[in-house]
Amino acid sequence: MIPILIISKDSKLVKKYLDNLKADNFFFEILPSTKEFSIEDIKSLIKDTKIFNPKIRVYFLNNFNLSSIPAQNSFLKLLEDPPSKIQFVLSANDRNSLLPTIISRVKIVKLQADILQKVVVDNFVKSTIEELINKPSATKIPFLQYKTADASSANDILNQIIIYFQKKLSLDKKSARVIKKMLTLIKLLSSNNLNPQLTIDEALIFIWKTYRMK
């Protein structure tokens, strides 16, 4: 199972995320013997994971960014040959505090509170959406001029689109369909399964096709 790295400074969000994992699995929080995880702590964890259990076990290591370099290297060996039916979950305030070799082997989950409340729809995004909605039969699609090079920018645009259509929910039945699609794209983008530019292209094509259909 692919290890998960939670990036968040909000302990309540982390707890909420972990509660979902606890529902159907055996859950264990691994505590360091001192202020940081040591190589001895990891060795003890390795021994524990070797014990067979038919049910999935989740091992949570909070604030793993505080672990020593030897401990991280020891944990890396565990990731290189992961035991079956074991889900490792790490948390950290910042991914840069962990070894790049660990980062390359985990799925990163960034948790942020009320992110949509902080999003402002800029005029260019708004005008692009409105052109797609109001001129669905146009042969020249306006999104062809829309360029984005990184996942962060693409994610911001998708959130802006969600905010725009949330305000139309009571008047436009198609808005719910668009919002659902944008949430799916955000999830795929965060798991590194989509190219940022192609993600935005797909989002705007979906809006165009949705309003082109009668």
The model's confidence at residue 40, banded by pLDDT at 50, 70 and 90, is very high
Q: Are 203 and 185 in contact (CB under 8 A)?
A: yes
The model's confidence at residue 116, banded by pLDDT at 50, 70 and 90, is very low
State the Cα angle at 110 between 105 and 111, rounded to 5°. 145
Beta bridge mates, 92 = 7
* Mean per-residue pLDDT, 37-63: 90
Least confident of 19-23, 104-108, 201-205: 19-23
Q: What is the dihedral sign for C-alpha 53, 56, 62, 66?
A: positive
| pTM, to two decimals | 0.53
- CATH number for the domain spanning 73: value is 3.40.50.300
Q: Locate the DSSP E strands across the chain.
A: 4-7, 26-29, 57-61, 86-92, 107-110
- Check whether residue 105 and residue 119 sit in a common domain: no
Q: What does the alpha-carbon distance between residue 188 and residue 179 come to, in Å, rounded to a whole number?
A: 14
User: DSSP alpha helices (H): ranges in 29-173?
Assistant: 39-49, 69-80, 100-103, 123-134, 151-166
Tens of pLDDT, residue by residue over 151-173, are: 888 888 898 899 889 888 888 88
The model's confidence at residue 149, banded by pLDDT at 50, 70 and 90, is low
- Check whether residue 122 and residue 106 sit in a common domain: no
- Check whether residue 185 and residue 87 sit in a common domain: no
Query: What's the pLDDT score for residue 75?
Result: 94
CA distance readout (Å), 64 to 72, 87, 96: 9, 15, 12
- Check whether residue 60 and residue 75 sit in a common domain: yes
Query: What's the pLDDT score for residue 144?
Result: 53
CA distance readout (Å), 116 to 76, 139, 167, 183: 35, 32, 12, 12
Q: What total number of domains does the chain contain?
A: 2
Domain, as residue range, for 155: 115-212
